[in-house]
Amino acid sequence: MARQARDARPGRTYHLVQRGHDRAEIFRDDQDRKSYLESFLQASVSFGLRVHAFSLLKSEAHWLVTPQRADAMADVVQQVGRSYVRRFNSRWSRQGTLWEGRYRAYWIDEPAFGLFVQRAIECLPAREGLCSRPADWAWSSLASHLGQMPEPRLTALPTYWAMGNTPFEREAKYSGVFDQALAEDVWENIRRGLSSGRPWATEQLMASLSAEERARWVRRPRGRPSKGNGEL
C-alpha cells in the first residue's frame, strides 16, 4: 500500500523530528551536534524553511519550522542526510543509514498551540535527563529566546513576537511563561501528532478547511466496513 503523501503546505507551522535507526544515537558528542546544527540551519536558509525552535538530544532532533515552499522540509532533510551522515559515518568509521526512516511531522495551529510546542521542544533535554534545567542545555533554541545567545537564523513565531514590543520585553515575558509547567495533555497531543501525523488544531480551524482536507484527518474505524443492505 502506498504511503500517504506528507502534509507540507507553505505557511503552516510544523513540528518535525528526525530519529536514529532503532533509536541509535545520531549525536555522540557536541562536535556532532554542532555539525548537524550547521548543516540544518544552512540548508533551511537555502531551501526556504523558517526555523523557530529546536532541541538536539541523543537519538532525536526536534524542530519547529514553517516552510515557504511545499518541498522545503523534504529538501532540507535530504541535504542534511547527504552532508551530515557522510561526515558522521566517516568520523565514527561506520556505514549505512543513520535515520529511523522518513522524518516525522505534523502541523500546528500556531496561534493556539505554537508556543506550547516551542516550550515543549525546549524542555525536552531536561525531560530526557540530559541536564537538570532546560537552560543548562547548549543545544536548543532556548538561549536564543531568552536573549542569552541569539541565533540570527531563527525566525520568531508570531505568537512569540507578539509577547512584547522589544526584544527585552519578549525575552522577559517568555522566561516567565517558560517556567510554568506544561500540562500532561500538551505532551499527549505532541505524542499523538508525531505518531499519527494528524494536526494539532482547534475545532474552528478544522471546520474552516475544505471538505477534502477535513476528510483526510478524520479517524476511520479499524477493520473492514460493515456490510449494508445493498452490498454484494
pLDDT digits (tens, 9 = 90+) for 113-129: 999 999 999 999 999 99
Question: Comparing 94 with 224, which gets the higher pLDDT?
Answer: 94
pLDDT for res 216: 83
Query: Quick one: average pLDDT of 135-145?
Result: 97
Please write down the HEC assignment for all residues of 31-93.
HHHHHHHHHHHHHHHHHCEEEEEEEECCCEEEEEEEECCCCHHHHHHHHHHHHHHHHHHHHCC
DSSP state of 14: E
Residue 139 confidence class, pLDDT cut points 50, 70, 90: very high
Span 12-34, average pLDDT = 96
Give the pLDDT confidence of 143-185 residue by residue, as tens digits: 999 999 999 999 999 999 999 999 999 999 999 999 999 999 9
Position 171 scores a pLDDT of 96
For residue 43, give the nearest of 116, 108, 103 by alpha carbon.
103
Q: How far out from the chain centre does Cα 17 lie?
A: 5
Tell me the per-residue pLDDT of 183-204, one tens digit each, with 9 for 90 and over: 999 999 999 999 999 999 999 9
Span 210-220, average pLDDT: 79
Q: Is the pLDDT of residue 223 over 90?
A: no
pLDDT at 227: 45
Give the dihedral of Cα atoms 181, 182, 184, 189; nearest 10 deg: -170
Q: Which range has the worst mean pLDDT, 88-97, 133-142, 212-221?
A: 212-221
* Domains in the chain with CATH codes: 13-204 (3.30.70.1290)
pTM > 0.85: yes or no: yes
